[in-house]
Structure 1
Amino acid sequence: MEMIVKQIVETMCGIVECHADKPRTPTIVPGLVLHQMETSINPIHALYHPRVCIILRGGKTVSLGHERFHVDQSTFLLVTVDLPVASQVFKADNGKSHLALTLDLDRTMLADVLQRLPPHQTPTSPPAGIIASELTRSLLEPFARLLNLLDNPDEVEFIRPLIVQEIHYRLARTGLGERLGQFAWSGSHLWQIGKATSWIKANYKEPMRIEELSEMAGMSVTSFHRHFKAVTLMTPIQYRTQVRLQEARRMLISERAAAGTAGVAVGYDSQSQFSRDYKRMFGAPPASDAARLVRTI
C-alpha cells in the first residue's frame, strides 16, 4: 500500500473510532454506516442490501451459497441485490479492532451517472449480485471526504450528494459498469430477479410457486431458474429457506420465542424439517443455538 493511501486510511480509522460507539453505528450522513468490532467473531447471518463495503482495518469473509468473498484494505465489497449471507469479521494482525464502513447504493443517482458514460454491452446473463474488487485510491478518497462530513454536520445536506455522486462515478470506472448497469436499469435481468427476491423477503411465510415468481419476473421458468441462481448463487427455495431461518433465529433471541413457535411463524409445517434446516445452517438445534447466543449477549 502506497504511503499516501496509508495516511488516508489512518485518518479514516481515526474518524470511525471517534464516531462508532457500537458494532454498527448509523450516522448523520444518510446511507453511511460505521462498523467497529473489538473481537473477531463467529459468522453472523444477515440480509445484505445493495451497498458498498470498505474495510479500513482487519478483514471480512462473506459466504453466499458455496462461494466465499474475502475483503480487506486492498479490496471493497459490492452488493447489488438483497442477499442472505453469512459474514465473519477479523481484527487487524496487530490486535486492533476491526473497522469498516458501508454506503447504500443509490439506484437513481447511479442511473444518472451511467447515462453520461460510454454504454456497456449488456451481458447475456446477469453477474452475481456480490463481488470483491480492488480498492483504488481514486475510490477511497471520496469515501474519506464523506467521512469528514461527520465532523462538519452543517455541510452534510449540500456536500453529501456531490460526494456520493462521485463515488458512484468512481465505482462505474472500476470496470464494474455492467454489474452497476444491471442494478440501475429497470428491465435488466438483475432488476427482474430483484422483483422476485423482494417478494420472497416480504412473503417468506407463504407458499411459493416458481411459476408465479417467474411470471412476476417476466421470464420463462427455465430462464428464471438460471438467472436467479446466477445472481444469488442459490435456488429460490434455498433463498427463502435462508430468509426464514434468519428471521426464526431473530425471534428465538430477541423475542425469546420457543423453537416450535418460531418455526411455525416463519412458515414451516414440519418441526423436524425446521430443526434439520436450522442445524444445517447454524450448526446447532434451535433451542441450543438460541441459549448459547443469549448467554453471550
Structure 2
Amino acid sequence: MESLLERMRDAVERHAAHFRQETAVPGLTLYRIHQPVAPTHVLYRPRMVVILRGSKTITAGGAPFVADASTFLLVTVDLPVCTQVILDEDGRSHLALSLDIDRAALAEAMARMPPDDSAAATPAGVATAAMTADLLDAFARLLDLLDKPGDVPFIAPLIVQEIYYRVLCGRLGAPLRQLALNGSRAAQIGRATQWIQKNYASPMAIDELAEVAGMSVTSFHRHFKALTLLTPVQYRARLRLQEARRLLLADARTVGAAAATVGYDSQSQFTRDYKRLFGAPPGADTARVAGAP
C-alpha cells in the first residue's frame, strides 16, 4: 500500500494549488496543509476522508476520532465538528482528500447488492475503519483521473460505485447503507438536522422536530444522540455559535448583534456558550483568530 500512497501524495501535491482544492471530479476535494493549524469548527456533510500524510482528529459531541494513512473516516449525517490537522513526524505537509457521498449513486450501488438487515441499527454518524488495499486502490484510480480530465465524466462514476461497494462490504457498511435508505434512522434524523440548519435562529420545539423525523419524541431523542453524538439543543447551539463566530470575523459585528442574529435572547448566555466551545470569550477569540498567521 505504500507505493499507492506515494502515487496519491504526488497527485495531491501536483493538483492542490491551495490548502483546500476542489477538483474536476464531482465531490472530490484535495487538502495540502503546510503548517500546523489551530482547531477548526466546521459543519461536515456526509463524506469519506482519506489521509495520505500526517493525521487528523475530528471531535464530534466531545468524542475524538483519529484518522491517519492506515484508516479512513466516514461521516453519514450533517455534523458540526472540531477538526485538528497534524503534520507528520518530519514536519512535511499534511495531505488528504475527501469524497462527498452522493445518495442517489449510493442507492444505485446498494440496489445491485444483496439485502443486509444490519442497516436496521443506528450507528454513530461518524466513524473510522482500517483502510484496505482494494479501497485505497480505488481512491488512487479516482485521483489518477485528474491527469485525464476527458475520462472523468465516464470513468469517475464507475470508480465511485466501486468505492461504495468496497465500503459496503466492510465494517462500515451498515452506517453507509443507512445514508441511502429513505426509511432508515439516519434518513429520519437527517431530515431533522436539515430542519435545524435552516431554522437554527428560530424557536425549536422537540415534538415538532420529532414529527419532521417521523418518530416519537422518546425515540427521536435516543436516535438523534446516537447518530450525532449531540442532543438536538446542543446541535442547534453548535450551529448558532459557528455562525456567530463567522459573523464576528467577517462582518465585524458587535457581540450583542451577532448573538441576536443567531437566535440568542441573552448575551451573557451567548458569551458563556461561546467560551465553552471556542475556549475564549468572543472578543478574545476573534482577536486571536484574526491575528493567527
Which TM-score bucket, shorter chain as reference? over 0.9
Partner residue, 2:34: 38
Summarize the alignment of residues 52-67 of structure 1 with structure 2, pairs less than 5 Å apart: 52-67=48-63
Paired AA for residue 237 in structure 2: T
Paired AA for residue 98 in structure 1: H
* Displacement over 6 Å in runs of 4+: none
Pick from 266, 269, 273: which aligns with 2:269?
Answer: 273
Q: CA deviation at 1:175?
A: 2.6
Alpha-carbon separation, structure 2, partners of 1:206 and 1:111: 33
Q: Which runs of 5+ in 2 are unaligned?
A: none
Alpha-carbon separation, structure 2, partners of 1:55 and 1:36: 11
- Asked whether the 8 Å contact 1:125–1:227 carries over to 2, the reply is no
In the alignment, structure 1 residue 257 sits paired with structure 2 residue 257: no
In the alignment, structure 1 residue 20 sits paired with structure 2 residue 22: no
In the alignment, structure 1 residue 138 sits paired with structure 2 residue 134: yes
- Asked whether the 8 Å contact 1:110–1:165 carries over to 2, the reply is yes
Summarize the alignment of residues 1-297 of structure 1 with structure 2, pairs less than 5 Å apart: 5-122=1-118, 125-296=121-292
- Asked whether the 8 Å contact 2:42–2:81 carries over to 1, the reply is yes
- Asked whether the 8 Å contact 2:120–2:184 carries over to 1, the reply is no
Q: Deviations over 1:2-56 (max 9, x none)?
A: xxx1111011101101111222111111100001111122211000000000000
Q: CA deviation at 1:189?
A: 0.8
- Asked whether the 8 Å contact 2:119–2:175 carries over to 1, the reply is no
Q: Which runs of 5+ in 1 are unaligned?
A: none
Q: Deviations over 1:133-190 (max 9, x none)?
A: 0100100011111111111111111111111111111111113222111110101111
Q: CA deviation at 1:67?
A: 1.0
**TM-score under structure 2 length normalisation:** 0.98
The number of residues matched between the two structures is 293
- Asked whether the 8 Å contact 1:25–1:35 carries over to 2, the reply is yes
**TM-score under structure 1 length normalisation:** 0.96
Alpha-carbon separation, structure 2, partners of 1:12 and 1:124: 36
Alpha-carbon separation, structure 2, partners of 1:68 and 1:74: 17
Alpha-carbon separation, structure 2, partners of 1:129 and 1:121: 18
Report percent identity of matched pairs. 54
